[in-house]
């Protein structure tokens, strides 16, 4: 039993203490929170909320983004209180678009995505939040020592996303 407790503590400390240090080193816009589990490190960076029925365009700075051994996703997240009932029908009608591009310190664009949200994957993020993304195209790579500018824009079109707010999230959370 003692060996099991020691093993648990070792895994727990190996994943959490280094992640806490990495999180502390992060510099930039948004709010970084850790979301590690027993087996993997993880983090999320949430940026300010905007009205879902209004367009927005923002540029965020990021530096020393934590490396957790996998590339995080760029999500457009929105609260939606009506559950999954009718979600496919709503998704088909949405005309909103989300764009994101990542530029490094030298000015070179390292990744970009142009995403009509009716074609995106909508995933439940727990509770009443959903996030829109495109598998593979929404994964952005960050070098921990590099400085970046993340340029994002949202156009609601005639039929915006459901809910009243949207926000950008960089999601590198550890999931089982």
Checking if the pLDDT of 66 tops 70, the result is yes
Is the predicted pLDDT of residue 124 greater than 90, yes or no? no
Tokens for 103, please give them.
């530029």
State the average pLDDT over residues 60-88.
87
Predicted confidence (pLDDT) per residue in 135-149, tens digit: 989 999 999 889 999
Each residue's pLDDT tens digit, 148-162: 999 999 999 999 999
Phi, psi dihedrals of residue 161, rounded to the nearest 5°:
-60, 150
What average pLDDT is seen over the chain? 88
| Confidence label for 163 from pLDDT (cuts 50, 70 and 90) | confident
Query: What are the start-end ranges of the E strands in 42-164?
Result: 43-46, 50-51, 56-63, 73-79, 97-104, 109-116, 121-124, 129-133, 147-155
Q: Is the pTM of this model over 0.95?
A: no
The CA–CA distances, whole Å, from 101 to 79, 118, 171 equal 24, 20, 16
pLDDT tens digit sequence for 15-36 = 455 888 888 999 999 999 999 8
> What are phi and psi for residue 7, nearest 5 degrees?
-60, -45
């Amino acid at each position: 039993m003692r060996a099991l407790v020691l093993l648990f503590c070792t895994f727990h400390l190996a994943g959490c203490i280094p992640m806490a240090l990495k999180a502390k080193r992060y510099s930039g816009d948004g709010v970084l929170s850790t979301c590690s589990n027993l087996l993997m490190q993880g983090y999320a960076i949430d940026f300010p909320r905007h009205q879902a029925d209004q367009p927005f365009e923002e540029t965020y700075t990021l530096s020393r983004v934590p490396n957790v051994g996998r590339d995080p996703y760029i999500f457009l997240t929105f609260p939606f209180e009506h559950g999954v009932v009718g979600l496919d029908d709503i998704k088909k009608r949405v005309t909103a678009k989300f764009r994101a591009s990542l530029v490094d310190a030298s000015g070179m664009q390292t990744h970009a995505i142009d995403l009509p949200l009716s074609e995106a994957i909508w995933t439940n993020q727990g509770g009443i939040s959903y996030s829109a993304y495109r598998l593979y195209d929404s994964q952005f790579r960050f070098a921990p020592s590099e400085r970046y500018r993340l340029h994002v824009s949202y156009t609601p079109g005639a039929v915006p996303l459901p809910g009243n707010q949207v926000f950008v999230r960089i999601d590198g959370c550890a999931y089982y």
